[in-house]
Amino acid sequence: MNRRHGSALALGAAALCASLLGACSSASTPGTSSGPVTLTFWGTYGNGGNKTQTDALNNTIIPAFEKANPDIKIQYVDIPYDSMLQKLTTGAAGGQLPDLVRADLGWVPKLGALGVFAALDEKMSDYKALAAADYPGTVATNLFGGHYYGLPLDTNTRVLISNPDALKAAGIAAPPATFDELKADAPKLAAKKVSAFADSGLQGWNVYPWIWSAGGSVTNADQTKATGYLNSPASVAGVQLLVDLYKSGEIPNLITGDKGATQTSDGLPKGQYANILDGPWMTGIWSGQYPTFKPVYSPVPAGPGGSISVTGGEDIVMTSASAHQDAAEKFIRFTQSATFQLAMAKTGQMSVVQALGDQEAAASPELAPFIKQLATAKPRPSVPQAPQIDTVLQDDLTPAFTGSESVQAALDKAAADIDPLLTETH
């Protein structure tokens, strides 16, 4: 190549780069204070190629809000779930956060305590009224140190989902309704090389339903102590059920963290697993990937404590750094409205507003088992160290399954490790 042409080419490329980059970054200069306000909203709705929720958001919800509020625009950004906490962390460190976040329950006390999320009960005059309309268990997840750092956005819970063909092939008429039925079903399923139950971990989301249904508990009422509760005989019995099934090979090692084992979302439709616990979002996922699979929904198997499941969901929070707090509050109010709640309920994000329960069930009959389970479902401890508590549970309970410790000893250790975490503020 002629050297002169070479330099001209290089200069041209450099100029092109500069203009391209310039064009891209100039588009990001923030709008002036006059003109429409743009709120950035971070969430995980679209993860996993899930289009139903982002479609509802972009096609129904956001247009409705923008129509009612012509001077506010909502920009939704989808973040991979595994990276959301990292992104919030770096954003907090650099003072560069969005206005609104659809935050996992476990993060709200943590980031509220650090001052990243705004205390909504102080900012919004109608907070009490809005909170009163929601299920109490969902509101409690926003509480820390006497203040509420968000409002519930959506809720969900786990129910027992079963593969009817797998059950029938083993001669079982209906999904197990009690602990004893599960124990009785297990050998029949094992004979057909089907796992009686499968779950993907040993964190709170996974084990609390069994502990509560066995009549046990996790902490005392004000969430300051786990010893004496988490390792009570009833709690031990709940975990023992799972350990016994695991040791006789009827629960796969997915539960102890094998990332190579088949996930429940694939194992159930394929008939490898007979029963799993999971939430309402799976219907949408399975209808796309396994169209011939017809799951059966039933309550969590009941033990001496009844059939008690765990609530999950997300809260809507506003960051303290937001420059458009009034506008953000308007959107938060909007999320509590029927338009938002019912549109999302159709995609498996259940409503947190109690009064909408009937409409919800009417519009989406497949949510009925979940709504029923929600009535008795309990929340996980909402403390800043909630993610660490989950890590402790996974680490301390695994030896009980893999055989080197008794369930009592494992729970004793877990309770001892969790006690200090319940009262730490960061």
Partner 1 sequence: MSTLSATGAASQRRAFARRRAGGPGQAARYAILTVGAAVMLLPFAYMLSTSFKSQAYVLTLPPQFIPHPATVSNYTDAWTSHDFARYFVNSLVVAVCTTALSLLLSSMMAYAFARFAFPGRELLYKVLLLGLMIPAMMLIIPQFVLAKYLGLLDSLTGLVVFYVGGSLPLNTFLLRGFFAAIPGELEQAMLVDGAGAWTRYRRLILPLAKPALATATIFTFLASWDEFAWSLTIINTPSKQTLPLAIALFQGENSTLWGLVFAASVIAVVPVIVVFLLFQRYFVQGLTAGAVKG
Partner 2 sequence: MMTAQNPVMLDSAAPADAGAAGPGPAPRAGRAPWRRRTAPARTALLFLAPGFLLFLGLIVYPMVRAFQMSFYDWNIVAGSVSRFIGVDNYTRAFHDPVFWRAAANSAVYMAFTVPPQIVLGFLVAALLNNKAPGRAVYRVLFYLPVVTSWVVVSLLFQYLFADSGLVNWMLHDVTHLTGHPTSWLAGRWTGMVAVSALGVWKGVGWSMVIFLAALQGVPKQLLEAAQMDGANAWQRFRAVTLPAVRPALLFVTVMLVIGGFNVFTSVLLMTGGGPADSTQVLLTYMYQQAFKNLDFGYGSSIAVVLTLFVFVLSVVQLRVFRGDEQETA
Q: Is 372 in the site for partner 1 (CB under 8 A)?
A: no
Closest residue by Cα to residue 300 from 249, 370, 358: 370
Q: Which residue, 49 or 94, is less far from partner 2 as judged by CB?
A: 94
Query: Which part of the chain contacts partner 1 (CB under 8 A), choosing from 73-81, 131-139, 191-199, 331-339?
Result: 73-81
CB of 46 to partner 1, least distance (A): 7
Binding of partner 1 by 73 (CB under 8 A): no
Pairing of strands 143-144, 72-78: unpaired
Binding status of residue 32 toward partner 1 by CB under 8 A: no
DSSP letter for 299, please: P
CB of 256 to partner 2, least distance (A): 6
Alpha helix positions (H), 28-132: 51-55, 62-68, 81-94, 107-113, 120-123, 127-132
Beta carbon of residue 93, minimum distance to partner 2 (angstroms, whole number) = 5
CB of 123 to partner 2, least distance (A): 18
282 near partner 1 (CB under 8 A): yes
253, interface contact from partner 2, partner 1, none, CB < 5-8 Å by kind: partner 2
Chain mean position to CA 29: 34
> How many angstroms separate the CA atoms of 405 and 269, rounded?
33
- Out of partner 1, partner 2, none, what residue 67 binds, judged by CB under 5 to 8 A for its kind, is none
Q: Rounded to the nearest whole angstrom, what is the least distance from the CB of residue 245 to partner 1 in the complex? A: 23
CA–CA separation, 348 and 154 (whole Å):
9
269 binds, among partner 1, partner 2, none (CB under 5 to 8 A by kind): partner 1
| C-beta pairs of 401-407 under 8 Å, 24+ apart in sequence | 401/202, 401/242, 401/243, 401/246, 401/247, 401/255, 401/256, 402/256, 403/247, 407/236, 407/239, 407/240, 407/243
Q: Report yes or no: 43 and 98 within 8 Å, Cβ to Cβ.
A: no
Cβ(159)–Cβ(268) under 8 Å? no
Q: Which stretch binds partner 1 (CB under 8 A): 89-97, 330-338, 384-392, 415-423?
A: 89-97
CB of 5 or CB of 259, closer to partner 2: 259
When binding is defined by CB under 8 A, the residue of 8, 15, 68, 77 that contacts partner 1 is 77
Residues 217-276 that bind partner 1 (CB under 8 A): 262-263, 265-266, 269-270
Which SS3 state, helix, strand or coil, does residue 251 take?
coil
Residue 282, contacted partner among partner 1, partner 2, none, CB below 5-8 A by kind: partner 1
Is the separation of the CB atoms in 348 and 358 below 8 Å?
no
Round to whole Å and give the CA distance between 399 and 153: 36
What's the sign of the alpha-carbon dihedral 230, 232, 235, 237?
Answer: positive
Q: In this structure, are residues 296 and 162 in contact, taking their beta carbons and an 8 Å threshold?
A: yes
Beta 37-43 vs 72-78: how paired, if at all? parallel
Task: By CB under 8 A, tell whether 14 contacts partner 1.
Answer: yes
| Contact residue for partner 1 among 8, 13, 15, 174 (CB under 8 A) | 13
Residue-by-residue DSSP string for 116-171: -B--HHHH-TTHHHHHHTB-HHHHHTTEETTEE--EEEEEEE-EEEE-HHHHHHTT
- Single out the residue of 3, 67, 193, 426 in contact with partner 2 (rule: CB under 8 A): 426
Q: Does the protein bind partner 1 through residue 81 (CB under 8 A)?
A: yes
Smaller CB separation from partner 1, 89 or 402: 89
Interacting residue ranges for partner 1, rule: CB under 8 A: 3, 7, 10, 13-14, 17, 20-22, 24-25, 27-28, 40, 42, 44, 46-51, 75-83, 86-87, 89-90, 93-96, 98, 262-263, 265-266, 269-270, 278-279, 281-282, 285, 289-290
Interacting residue ranges for partner 2, rule: CB under 8 A: 85-86, 89, 92-95, 110, 114-116, 253, 256-262, 387-388, 391, 394-395, 398, 426
